[in-house]
Structure 1
């Protein structure tokens, strides 16, 4: 597995090699969903030579997946011989020759490929093989190391137990790193937590804030606390402020990932705002969410995620709905060279992109976006008030050519002001 301080050129070269193998000899060979998708896009495995070829595949959304099992790698003798890795096909041939196929399955294929552990993300079961769990444990160890944890720390976890990524990467990461941990319910007794003298608290952002505020009201002090790990969901600015205020100098670090992504993205100690990713197991693109086209390096757009090296469930070009920039090179806080995601808007990616376009349109004096679901289909409505004297037909024609929306609704300024007041001045209203 790639280290955390590799040269960017080596990261790109290894990702290129791994992606070609992933598409040619794993996803296409063993996962029905990806074979069908590649065939429909007219992309033959042999034509994939690098990262640039990934753009020939359409973007993927989780709600397109009707059968979660079709995302899982399930090699058998026939598929290994036809499209699998040559080395694996050779081993299978030798095993068949000597009557050792059952042993090969048990000792090699099942640990690598068989999903033995399942998480549920946005309603989708996501499978992990035995090797995947070891990979998750190592990534968890690296996360905790970058957060400044050491073997002498005592971690109390409040992440809800269950089939969620935050809980399992925390549990596996503490095990691998040798950090003492006790994983409790999200709403534990304040006295019980204080009695454990934790140096680290990990939990959902609001749960951590509520615990610290309750402790302050009760006069309970957590004198040993030096780190707060906000796990499982994006850390909003207001909640970060609450944690920093009540944390009495403890570092506040975020770690989360969108549904479908198989390991957490995490802030390092001192690197607030940038989420380190793991280039050994994931490849990231940033695209214009309105067109799907890649953006120039350093520009903001929607993060698109592809798995590398994971077995069990695999993903290619998964839309994350995260609007961000991607920073490469050495992190000024920790020195690691893993690519960092810097979210630039808390809005869903499409709404963030629409907002940017509407903000730049001088002929629109005020606007509001509304997201709704009608008969199971998502709709996006743009309410707008044109500036005085603007050619309304030209404005709508140009916006219609640039934006993929369900409907434009033109109001006068006073009507749109009233709509904004009714929705608490929110420029984006999500009614889904």
Structure 2
């Protein structure tokens, strides 16, 4: 099969409102996605707060490839392929920490935090000329937006600002959950589930499932919170932001957390507000902090690997065609009030934590989809909800649907098709 024929076959798997099951189950497609999607996109790898000083690092992934995110002695950020240039061993296995150099455990090739090769034991055994500058760790291209660190293997990709496009505005709005203190990663946990990565990609802007899959969670809420979490009842919308990104607005009055601060503080936050006032915060600060604790009224999906939802970043990592790893990163306020960050963690734990209401129910559905598509190979997967239901929320001319529409999925798969057939 020629390359042109292969691209035509891949393109035939995605139509405007439906998908072929092979997208979830074909190992050859997964292998091509690693190159055409994850090596050719801006992929989120870290937040600046995870690397608080010189010589700090965090291990991460770009698709299936291990990387190290570093902050060098001068404060510059780098993303390095976690692979020794000698025999290919990983040079760092810790999740995060501080180190002036990385030493390969196999033959002690030693690298600076910017990737430069510093030392090679018994280097006189190599043919001359042996220039250490030729054997630095592979560096990825790095760009940062509002503390969010993105990396790519693709040297000629458009600048990050262009890649994000209209999603930049929504990302900045989401990061207002810092209440002016700055975002800080409070903690994280990971889990894997036996299903394709794209199934998880779909859920961030899928409100249609929420009152069904998460009925137990909703039944456990007080009346005030249950009304707030009525994601289908607040007149929201889902919008295609280009480049596969999308936003789902569930509570329009909570788009900008700095607006409408004079509305009553919800009863569930009354004790927190009282504690903050006792600590000396003025009324506006109390309201701003409380609003930040509750989180934004929208979910943002950044293609291909990051979801901004509730009080967390959800990062997906493809492992195999039928296995995906999810990292939930709980967010708080850098040097913010302890009581506020404590409540942020409790809210995160209740829904997205490892023993929370949300994650187990979602994961079971993803696993069932993966099992289900093993049958009916000639049957389409439908993503046609809301194709004829424009929303009132966004500006005229935007590609949007009502809050239960599958607009976000269609946006992601349009980008998938574009990249896989380019």
* TM-score of the two chains, using structure 1 as the length reference: 0.25
Judging by fraction of residues, say which structure has more helix: 1
Higher relative contact order (CA 8 A, sep 6+): 2
